[in-house]
Structure 1
Amino acid sequence: MGRLSALGRFASSWYVSGPMLAVLGVVIGALVFFYVVPGKPKIGVIDIPFTVINDDSAFVISTFLEYARRDDSIKGVFIRLNSPGGGAAASEQLYFETRALRAEKPVVIIMNDIVASGGYMMSMGASYLYTKPSSFIGNVGVILSFP
C-alpha cells in the first residue's frame, strides 16, 4: 500500500507542476524573445507625394518625423520629397523637425520631380540630399509687395 500511495503522490504532483513548468517556460521564452534578443535595425521610409506645405500637411509630416525619431529600432530615415513649397511657418517647422531627427539619426532626402521653396527649406535639415538630374530644385523665395 505504501508504494501505491507514493506513486499516487508522484502522479498528482506532475499533473499540477507539469503545466506550471510549461507555462513558466513559455513566459521566460517570451521575455527573452521580446526583451533580451535585439531586433534587426530598420530604415524608415517617409513618402511625401506632391504636397503643398501648409499647417495640415506639416502636422502629418511632423508626426511621421517624430515617430521615426522616437522609435529606437529605426536607425536611419529616407524621405522621398516632392513639394513646390508652401507657407513659411509650416516649412520652418518641418525644417526644425528634420534637423532634430538628423541630430539623432542619419536622414537622407530624395528629391523627386520638384522640390522648391518650403520643400527646399525642409530638406536643408537633412544629413544627405539626393536628386535626379531631371529634378527641378528651387530655392527659398519670398514675395514682396508694395502698397
Structure 2
Amino acid sequence: MEKSRRILAYGILAIVILILALTGIIVAIMHIPIEGSSGDIAVIDLDGTIYSRGTEEGLFSDYQPGVEDYIEWIEDAQEDDGTKAIIIRINSPGGEAIASEKLAKAIKEASEKKVVVAYVESMAASAAYQAASSTDYIVAEKQSLVGNIGVRMEIIHYYGLMDDLGINVTTIKSGEYKDIGSPTRPMTEEEKEMLGSIVNESYDDFVSWVAENRNMTLEETYKVADGRIYSGSQAKKAGLVDMVGTEEDAIDIAAEMAGISGEPELYEYGGKSSGFLGMKFNDALYSFGYGLGKGLAETSVEETSPSYGMYF
C-alpha cells in the first residue's frame, strides 16, 4: 500500500512539473513582442553593471540584461517607424570596457537616425557615462552621480597568503611574460608599465569619445576626466550634462527635439527582473519553464575567469 502511494505521489508530481513546464513555454510565446507595438518615445532602462552577457535568472535570483540585450532594444526602437525618439534611463555604475564601447557605438548610431536623450536618474558613472555622452542630450537629476571617467585594471594577488600557508607554485611557461598578472607572485615594474600602457591607451580613447560627443576640447575633457564623481548640478557646470532636471523634463526635451505634438506615448523596453519570488504569476511560470528546459538541455560546464580585467 505504501509503495502504491509513493508511486501515485511521484506520478502527480511529474504531471505538475510537466504542466508548469508547458505553461512556461506558452507564457514565453506570449512574451514575444508583437510587431508594431511601440510608442512615440521608446524608454530603455540601462540598469546595473554593464556586462557583455546577461546573468542567468533563477528561482531566487535576478536576470541582469547584457549589452547585447540593450543593443537589440536600441536597434528595435531605431527601426520602428512609430518611434520618434529614444530615452536611455540610466542607473549604472559602469562596467566592462569592451561591452561599454559596443553599447556607446550602438547609441551613437541610433542618434544619427532618431533623437536620443539620456536621463540620469541615480547614477551614470564611467561606462554608463560613456553611454550617456553618446546621446543628443543629457538630463540628470540634481543629486545624481555623474562622471567617474577613467579606466582601471584589477589584479588579485594572494601569494602572501600562500606563503603563510606554506603553499608553493611552480610555473612552466613558454615566454617571459606568459604569466603576467599571475596572482601567485609579485609583478615586476616592467610588467606594471606594460599593463599601464594598455590602461592609458583605453583611457585616451574614452576621453576622445567624450570630447567628440560633448563638443569639448581634449584639454577641457582631460580636466574633468580624472576619475572624480560629480553631482548632477556639478556635472552641468563641468559641461558633462545639458540640463539638471527630472524624467518628465527628459520626456519633454525628447518630444520637442523629435517634433512630437501633444502628449507623447511611451513604450518601455526590458529592465531587470526580480527573480521568481518577485515576479507576477505568469512571469514566474515562464521562468520555471525556461529554467527546467534549459537545465534538461544543457550539461554543467565549469568556467574559469582571468585573474585580471579592464573596466570603465
What is the TM-score normalised by the length of structure 2?
Answer: 0.33
Structure 2, unaligned stretches of length 5 or more?
1-37, 54-65, 155-191, 194-312
Q: How far 1:129 moved relative to its partner?
A: 0.2
- Of the candidates 17, 40, 43, which is equivalent to residue 42 of structure 1? 40
Q: Which has the higher contact order (CA 8 A, sep 6+)?
A: 2
Aligned to 1:14: none
Secondary structure of the structure 2 residue equivalent to 1:133: coil
Note the residue ranges of structure 1 that are not aligned, 5 or more in a row.
1-39
Q: Report the identity percentage.
A: 32
Correspondences of 1:1-147 after superposition (within 5 Å) = 42-49=40-47, 51-56=48-53, 57-143=66-152, 146=192
Alpha carbons of structure 1 residues 125 and 42: separation in structure 2 relative to 1, 3 Å: same
Q: Which has the higher strand share?
A: 1
RMSD, matched Cα: 1.8
Number of residue pairs matched by the alignment? 107
Q: Distance in 2 between matches of 1:65 and 1:88?
A: 19
Q: Find the aligned partners of 2:78 and 2:137 in 1 and give their Cα distance.
A: 17
Alpha-carbon deviation of 1:139?
3.1
2:107, 2:153 → 1: CA distance? Answer: 28
Q: State the TM-score, normalizing by the size of structure 1.
A: 0.68
Q: Quick check: which has more Rg, 1 or 2?
A: 1
Runs of 4+ more than 3 Å apart: none
- Partners of 1:47 and 1:124 in 2: CA distance: 16
CA positional deviation for 1:48: 2.4
Shift of 1:134: 0.2
Distance 2:152 2:117 in 1: 29
